[in-house]
Amino acid sequence: MTPRLRLFWLFSFCIPLGLLAPTSATAIPAAPCDSQVNDTPSELVPCIQTGDLWNHMKKFQAIADANPGPDGHPSRNSGEPGYKASADYVANKMTAAGYDVTIQTYKFTYYAYTAKPTFGEVSPTPQTYALTDQWNPGQSTGSTNAALQPAGGIIVPPTSVSSSTSGCTSGDFSGFVAGRVALIQRGGCNFGVKAQNAQAAGASGVIIFNEGNPGRTGVLSGSLVDAAGNPIIPSIPVAFTSFAIGSNLLDQYQKVGAAPPVMNLSIQAIVKPNTDDYNVIAESKGGDKNHVLVVDAHLDAIYGAGMLDNASGSAAILDIAQKMKNVTPLNKLRFIWFGGEELGLLGSSYYVNNLTSSEASHIGYDLDADVFATPNYVVGVLDPAAPDLFSRVVPATFPNRVYKASQVSRDQSIAYFDSVGLNHELLSPNGTDAISFNQIGIPASGLLTGQDCCKSQDEVNLFGGSLGNYEGNVPSFDGGCVDNPFLWCDNLSNNDPAVLTVMSKAFANTVVQMAFDTKVMSASNSFVSKPKVPAMQSSRRFATK
């Protein structure tokens, strides 16, 4: 990874370094922390220390190093030995701390690259397109070397607003020559529908290019889902690219007297349906079982070791749970490490969908820890009415039962950050496991520090650092480590221990307060509706159409 912005900009606020931790949070020796009852913020927060957090981080990195994925790189991805070893590590630590531990198993379709995908033009203009800079692979598998043919419905030049429906019906492939590579414009329907129609017409590969309207010109990343929103994995390779590349290929095809461009596309991957994945659930022995506080983080990685996203949050709640082992809370504590978050909130969706109405009604609150150690950080506090980190729009609305109660932990976190001289911003739980709880009527909040692109100037003004990649690369508009399957750089060096410590202390502050809450949590015995939550939600990073 390129050199990171480190602690120097943590200190660039107009506040002294000492305000990174509250006066009451001065580090204390480990022995008192292990033996005392840490049932107040003044006792618990000082016990959350960098060394303990970082030891868990080093263990997760060691697990990834010892368990390479199919691509040969360190991995803790769901469905792989590194994830199971991570789950076992957490389960063993929580059992040793005296919690009642269970491992919940569910099934999913495992997909992993076995080689770096390639995409290029063989003729008449031989060139190889750069991965991520010029194209992105769809979750598909196969290889082709064949002539290009556009699907019907392409609108070039594009209109000012989205109007293309290219590839959305079988009629768009009337006259399509079987074996060719289908060129399809974005717009009108889910990407998976376009790929399905192309494959049904005999295409050997698919190129989906951005539509060309304002905001729809650059290199595209897409999730392949069918008309009902269910994920699919085509057995022909699917590439996503920019409007410029797509329109250039269209121009070449339409050139009078010229042979159609010949394209080469290869996406090699393993696909395993019905693969086991795991949620680790650990409950306090004390506390009212009718008033449950869920404290969660996702344990899985995406494309590698996953140290920032989300070993950092997993380490934080593990350390907090260990430091609260002697506490007898009023509300039962249920620490959960979810799997499959990176694949569409699979673990948390499975968990909430398999609660009975009674079990759901006894969960009074959820607190989510998702990405806690970003070098070029923001201080994000989850709020159901706030804008999404990636889209910057408010993605959903919730009734007051969810929204008003969610403000309780939200405001505790804000007060904590105010006390240590740090700014904050409110962010939607969309794309985090907290949203799974909101969707069944359970209030939730949590914290995050951001990952990948793009940190705004307003955020720089609030938190320091630099524009662009939250992970701190300079130049910083490079897509980042976390969501790029071919950089393999979300390792320990992609995390800032000082940021991890501050966020973990802030999270501990609200966990211990909510563990003894008697007002909000007591409302949890009211009926909670449980609408169907999709087993696979569209990614927070990739468009679906």
191-221 pLDDT per residue, tens: 999 999 999 999 999 999 999 999 899 999 8
Contact indicator for 440, 529 with CB cutoff of 8 Å: yes
Number of H helices, E strands in the chain: 14, 16
In what order do the strands lie in the sheet containing 181-185? 127-128, 118-123, 262-267, 142-150, 181-185, 205-209, 238-241, 135-137
Confidence of residue 401 (pLDDT cuts 50, 70, 90): confident
What pLDDT is attached to residue 28?
A: 65
Instruction: List the single range of 16-30, 201-215, 492-506 with lowest mean pLDDT.
Output: 16-30
Contact indicator for 301, 293 with CB cutoff of 8 Å: no
Q: Which whole number is the average pLDDT over 157-175?
A: 96
Q: Which whole number is the average pLDDT over 119-136?
A: 95
What pLDDT is attached to residue 148?
A: 98
Distance of CA 330 to the CA centre of its chain: 32
What pLDDT is attached to residue 20?
A: 42
Contact indicator for 202, 220 with CB cutoff of 8 Å: no
Q: How far apart are CA 46 and CA 21, in angstroms?
A: 9
pLDDT above 90 coverage of the chain, percent: 78
Q: Residue 274 phi/psi, 5° resolution?
A: 60, 45
Q: Residue 292 phi/psi, 5° resolution?
A: -105, 130
Contact indicator for 426, 381 with CB cutoff of 8 Å: yes
Burial class (CB in 10 A: 0-12, 13-18, 19+), 410: buried
- DSSP collapsed to 3 states, 426-464: EECCCCCCHHHHHCCCCCEEEEECCCCCCECHHHHHHHC
The domains located in the chain, with CATH, are: 7-15+40-110+273-525 (3.40.630.10), 116-267 (3.50.30.30)
| Local structure of 414: helix, strand or coil | helix
Does the pLDDT at position 8 exceed 50?
no
What pLDDT is attached to residue 397?
A: 84
What pLDDT is attached to residue 321?
A: 98
Q: Which whole number is the average pLDDT over 324-335?
A: 97
Strand pairing partners for 121? 127, 263
Instruction: List the single range of 84-93, 191-200, 300-309, 387-396 with lowest mean pLDDT.
Output: 387-396
Q: Which whole number is the average pLDDT over 312-323?
A: 98
Q: How far apart are CA 64 and CA 483, in angstroms?
A: 17
Q: How far apart are CA 410 and CA 520, in angstroms?
A: 13
Residue that the structure tokens 């393999």 belong to: 488
Per-state percent for the chain, helix, strand, coil, to nearest 5: 30, 20, 45
CA neighbor of 351 nearest in space, from 268, 231, 434, 461: 434
Q: Residue 125 phi/psi, 5° resolution?
A: -120, 85
30 compared with 395, residue with greater pLDDT: 395
**pLDDT digits over 357-378, tens only?**
999 999 999 999 999 999 999 9
Q: How far apart are CA 98 and CA 448, in angstroms?
A: 28
What pLDDT is attached to residue 315?
A: 98
What pLDDT is attached to residue 22?
A: 36
Alpha helices in 14-150 (DSSP H): 30-35, 41-44, 50-66, 81-96
**pLDDT digits over 79-126, tens only?**
999 999 999 999 999 999 999 999 999 999 999 999 999 999 999 999
**pLDDT digits over 336-353, tens only?**
999 999 999 999 999 999
Burial class (CB in 10 A: 0-12, 13-18, 19+), 532: exposed
- DSSP collapsed to 3 states, 269-337: EEEEEEEEEEEEEEECCCCEEEEEEEEEEECCECCCCCHHHHHHHHHHHHHHHHHCCCCCCCEEEEEEE
Q: Residue 492 phi/psi, 5° resolution?
A: -55, -35
Contact indicator for 447, 320 with CB cutoff of 8 Å: no
pLDDT averaged over every residue in the chain: 89
